[in-house]
């Protein structure tokens, strides 16, 4: 196993219990609107994507990283996972370059919705990024239409919401294939939403296999935002989805749906700063 993922606690089951990661929350703006997303509230005891106690500027992020390394020398991965879309924020690239210059031994990772994955891939590689997580919740338009309120691309070129959602699906696929072809290790995240995308899981996994993705992580819906009245999938639904997807791709089973400011060794459930 390549070193960049053998010590990545979000790619490797073994690393999950022995090595740490830190998410630097430097990316506040987002370019899509997911119906299950709500970033208005923050509780120190909640763990879900998009939540942070504070958005940092790049220099503040470096200071936080320095404190984290002093407190937990087993940190191996520095990632940007929000609270918005990392690739849509210039602060992401500034932060990654600073980290790479000062701590070249650390692995760099980004999480993205995939809309800009292909367009910004060369920038990420130049920053030293070696691993990427792309959240793909659908490959078919009808499912995606129920998941995304809107996608913020050129409205003159794509005046209809339907066209903008189709653009997201197209760009996610092309970004996934390009990132894998360029040598990044890619994890596909999929939020399982009962009644909407159960039939999408196997299709996403098949696409990931042929693209060359490394691993897939199916996460249960956290009822929130415009989907706060929906039910999260139960254990059987999660097992069924993972079994279907597992025919095509290895499944990561230990995800904690981390905050945008998570820090520490996930398997020890400890936050160091």
pLDDT given for residue 47 in this prediction: 58
- Residue 263, strand partner residues: 22
Which domains are delineated in the chain? Answer: 3-268 (3.20.20.70)
**Residue 65 · residue 22 · CB < 8 Å:** yes
- Note down pLDDT in tens along the chain; length 273 residues: 565 689 899 899 988 998 999 999 999 999 999 999 876 645 444 556 767 788 999 999 999 999 999 999 999 999 999 999 999 999 999 999 999 999 999 999 999 999 999 999 999 999 999 999 999 999 999 999 999 999 998 877 898 999 999 999 999 999 999 999 999 999 999 999 999 999 999 999 999 999 999 999 999 999 989 999 999 999 999 999 999 999 999 999 988 888 888 889 987 754 433
Structure tokens at 211: 């693209």
pTM over 0.85: yes
Give the CA count within 13 Å in the CB-facing half-sphere of 147.
27
Backbone angles phi, psi at 194, to 5 degrees: -55, 135
Q: d(Cα 245, Cα 201) in Å, to the nearest integer?
A: 6
pLDDT given for residue 271 in this prediction: 40
Burial class (CB in 10 A: 0-12, 13-18, 19+), 53: exposed
Backbone angles phi, psi at 101, to 5 degrees: -70, -40
DSSP type of residue 271: -
pLDDT given for residue 48 in this prediction: 67
């Amino acid at each position: 196993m390549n070193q960049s993922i053998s010590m990545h606690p979000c790619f490797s089951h073994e690393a999950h219990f022995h090595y740490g990661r830190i998410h630097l929350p430097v990316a506040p703006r987002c370019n899509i609107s997911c119906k299950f997303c709500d970033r208005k509230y923050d509780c120190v005891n909640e763990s879900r994507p998009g939540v942070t106690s504070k958005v940092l500027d790049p220099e503040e992020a470096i200071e936080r990283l320095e404190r984290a390394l002093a407190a937990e020398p087993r940190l191996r991965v520095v990632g940007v996972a929000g609270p918005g879309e990392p690739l849509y924020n210039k602060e992401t690239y500034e932060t990654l370059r600073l980290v790479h210059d000062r701590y070249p031994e650390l692995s760099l990772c980004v999480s993205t919705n995939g809309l800009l994955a292909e367009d910004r891939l060369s920038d990420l590689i130049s920053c030293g990024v070696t691993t990427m997580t792309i959240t793909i919740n659908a490959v078919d338009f009808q499912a995606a239409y129920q998941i995304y309120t809107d996608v913020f691309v050129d409205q003159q070129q794509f005046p209809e919401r339907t066209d903008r959602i189709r653009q997201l699906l197209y760009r996610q696929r092309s970004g996934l294939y390009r990132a894998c072809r360029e040598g990044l290790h890619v994890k596909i995240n999929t939020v399982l939403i009962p009644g909407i995308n159960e039939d999408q899981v196997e299709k996403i996994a098949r696409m990931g296999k042929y693209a060359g993705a490394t691993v897939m992580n199916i996460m249960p819906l956290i009822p929130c935002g415009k989907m706060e009245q929906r039910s999260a999938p139960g254990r059987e639904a999660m097992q069924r989805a993972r079994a279907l997807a597992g025919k095509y791709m290895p499944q990561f089973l230990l995800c904690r749906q981390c905050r945008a400011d998570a820090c520490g060794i996930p398997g020890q459930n400890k936050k160091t700063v």
